[in-house]
Structure 1
């Protein structure tokens, strides 16, 4: 109902008790696009990690979208890769795999 009444806003649940409301162009995905332009980085060089609905557009945009194991199924399905949970150091595992010493 809120999305229909306020189409200029991005509204998503990021936790059971958290509702994020912002301008539709002020998302994590739009921030990544801004940083790509600013630093001259190509989308295929971007790795994004996320675990909830506020990360969805960022994961879909990145060259490699990584969902954490504790993410909802919809987020996991949108990602290119699913790693283990935050508490199991899923981010570190992917970074070690992509950037070995």
Structure 2
């Protein structure tokens, strides 16, 4: 084996060891678009919501969750703000 092959194998081994040493790493899924309007029927059926800020993701959004479905909504939507104030079903912080 030549030096380049050995260096490549060592690099792959180090990468695999690093990945295995980080079992608590999380994959971040960000909303890339938001809906300006929200259907009142959808608000009644929403189970939980989460707030996406723009520190990690590119845009601010409120994520409405219903089962495995999610909808990204503009956080400035007045109807959504009223719903959030009444329902307080926010997902607990994952910090």
Q: Which bin holds the TM-score, normalised by the shorter protein? A: under 0.3
TM-score (norm 2): 0.24
Between 1 and 2, higher relative CO (CA 8 Å, sep ≥ 6) is seen in 2
As a proportion of its length, which structure holds more strand? 1
TM-score (norm 1): 0.24
